[in-house]
């Protein structure tokens, strides 16, 4: 396949209009509605609308300070057929066009460049990795799955897992953080990858048999079982959606860590409660929406932000979101001072509107 002449301007599935060096995405009403739905859910401590989660995670690539770090692509959620049911139609995965173009480009390995873990920021900082022009940007191709579970102690029927193809090692890791019914889900996901039609990955460099040998099944997650032992009650299966988001954000925050697929088995990852996870994700989406709609008046901005007042009971979320927003404002002030321009607007009014 010939190498494309033009690099994608911004991570898919977004488009980018104008010549803004920040590469802000064009958020049409549908995209804005999806991101709004995720922000509202996080502010209330409820479950985000499932079909909006991949778009929101893709948006986490956009307008980030680490603009040279590798990207991750999230495909729409796949519904996994139970083992005791017949697949009436074989599953199919169609990748975004920018991702297909990117797969044709050479991947510049990270593992030879060193780097170190920043404990304060809880992220791996790259060494000398600076991809040459024309090299690939997408390191991870991510597929969130929804499985059906029948557990007597809960009425919920959905468990979420995630498969992540890592171009650094050319292998796929499937993460399952729920301790009940794993044997069944392993069988389901094995059948899924045996049958799925995805010509831009399977059959492109690896045939089906070779691809299946490059899958790792990571199930060494015990934190959910420990929580149940402590609470003496079942953890709702749907909580795994937070675990999946936590694993996804962990990968993106540490995209220059060669061994990022080893996701720590800790409570703050299972609930995605650590500062670099849901709080930073929330702050990023909020800022991205405001930056991408420069035509909004101050009143329109305040009306938009007012929807996302974080509940009092989510004290950890309120504290950590404020901390990350303060960091962003300080960076914006510093940038304006260096450039000697700007209007001095750093949105400090957000704290009053959100009540944090």
pLDDT at 6: 39
pLDDT at 69: 82
- Does the pLDDT at position 34 exceed 90? yes
* CA-based R_g, the chain, Å: 21
pLDDT at 140: 97
- For the segment 224-253, the average pLDDT, to the nearest whole number, is 95
Task: Tell me which of 9-13, 15-19, 281-285 is least confident.
Answer: 15-19
pLDDT at 337: 64
Task: Tell me which of 2-16, 78-92, 274-288 is least confident.
Answer: 2-16
Q: pTM (2 decimals)?
A: 0.92
Q: What is the DSSP string of 191-224?
A: HHHHH-B-TTTBTTTB-HHHHHTTEEEE----HH
- For the segment 286-292, the average pLDDT, to the nearest whole number, is 94
- Does the pLDDT at position 8 exceed 70? no
pLDDT at 20: 66
pLDDT in tens, 91-116: 999 999 989 999 999 888 888 777 77
Task: Tell me which of 23-32, 327-336, 339-348 is least confident.
Answer: 339-348
* Distance (Å) of CA 7 to CA 105, 228, 296: 10, 48, 30
Q: How confident is the prediction for the chain on average, in pLDDT? A: 89
Task: Tell me which of 14-23, 73-82, 128-137 is least confident.
Answer: 14-23
pLDDT at 338: 65
- For the segment 26-39, the average pLDDT, to the nearest whole number, is 95
pLDDT at 4: 38
- Does the pLDDT at position 267 exceed 70? yes
pLDDT above 90: percentage of residues in the chain? 66
Task: Tell me which of 51-55, 64-68, 282-286 is least confident.
Answer: 64-68
Given CATH 3.40.30, say whether it is the number of domain 29-294: no
| Cα 244–Cα 76–Cα 286 angle in degrees, nearest 5 | 70
Q: Where residue 356 falls among pLDDT bands split at 50, 70, 90?
A: very high
Task: Please report how the helices 240-253 and 278-292 are oriented relative to each other, as an axis angle in degrees rounded to 10.
Answer: 70
pLDDT at 3: 36
Contacts 24+ apart (CB under 8 A), 22-27: 22/63, 22/291, 23/62, 23/63, 23/67, 24/62, 24/63, 24/288, 24/291, 24/292, 25/59, 25/62, 25/63, 25/288, 25/292, 26/292, 27/288, 27/289, 27/292, 27/293
- For the segment 233-261, the average pLDDT, to the nearest whole number, is 94
SS3 79: strand
pLDDT at 112: 77
Q: Where residue 333 falls among pLDDT bands split at 50, 70, 90?
A: confident
Nearest CA among 104, 97, 88, 95 for reference residue 195: 88
**Dihedral angle of Cα 335, 337, 340, 341, to the nearest 10 degrees:** 60
- For the segment 228-247, the average pLDDT, to the nearest whole number, is 95
pLDDT at 30: 94
pLDDT at 155: 76
Answer with the residue of higher pLDDT: 26 or 279: 279
- For the segment 246-252, the average pLDDT, to the nearest whole number, is 97
Q: For residues 35 and 264, is the Cβ–Cβ distance under 8 A? A: no
Q: Where residue 344 falls among pLDDT bands split at 50, 70, 90?
A: low
Answer with the residue of higher pLDDT: 124 or 36: 36
Q: Are strands 171-175 and 158-166 parallel, antiparallel or unpaired?
A: antiparallel
How far apart are alpha carbons 44 and 39 in whole angstroms?
9
SS3 102: helix
């Amino acid at each position: 396949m010939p190498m494309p002449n033009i690099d994608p301007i911004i991570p898919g599935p977004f488009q980018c209009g104008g010549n803004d060096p920040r590469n802000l995405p064009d958020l049409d009403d549908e995209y804005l509605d999806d991101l709004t739905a995720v922000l509202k859910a996080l502010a209330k401590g409820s479950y985000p609308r499932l079909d909006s989660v991949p778009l929101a995670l893709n948006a986490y690539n956009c307008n980030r300070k680490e603009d040279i770090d590798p990207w991750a692509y999230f495909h729409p959620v796949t519904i996994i057929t139970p083992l005791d049911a017949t697949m009436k139609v074989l599953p199919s995965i169609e990748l975004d066009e920018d991702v297909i173009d990117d797969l044709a480009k050479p991947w510049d390995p990270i593992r030879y460049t060193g780097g170190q873990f920043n404990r304060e920021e809880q992220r791996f900082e790259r060494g000398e990795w600076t991809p040459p022009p024309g090299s690939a940007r997408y390191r991870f191709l991510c597929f969130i799955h929804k499985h059906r579970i029948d557990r007597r102690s809960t009425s919920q029927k959905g468990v979420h897992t995630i498969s992540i193809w890592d171009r650094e090692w050319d292998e796929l890791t499937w993460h399952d953080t729920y301790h009940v019914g794993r044997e069944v889900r392993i069988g389901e996901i094995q059948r899924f990858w045996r049958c799925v039609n995805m010509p831009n990955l399977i059959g492109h460099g690896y045939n089906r048999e070779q691809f299946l040998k490059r899958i790792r099944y990571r199930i060494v997650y015990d934190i959910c079982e420990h929580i149940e032992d402590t609470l003496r009650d079942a953890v709702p299966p749907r909580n795994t959606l937070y675990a999946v988001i936590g694993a996804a954000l962990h990968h993106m925050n540490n995209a220059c860590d060669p061994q990022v697929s080893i996701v720590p088995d800790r409570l703050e990852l299972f609930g995605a409660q650590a500062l670099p996870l849901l709080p930073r994700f929330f702050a990023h989406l909020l800022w991205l929406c405001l930056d991408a709609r420069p035509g909004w008046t101050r009143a329109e901005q305040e009306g938009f932000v007012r929807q996302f007042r974080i509940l009092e009971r989510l004290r950890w979320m309120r504290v950590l979101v404020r901390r990350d927003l303060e960091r962003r404002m300080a960076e914006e002030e510093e940038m304006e001072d260096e450039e000697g321009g700007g209007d001095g607007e750093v949105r400090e009014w957000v704290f009053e509107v959100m009540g944090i």
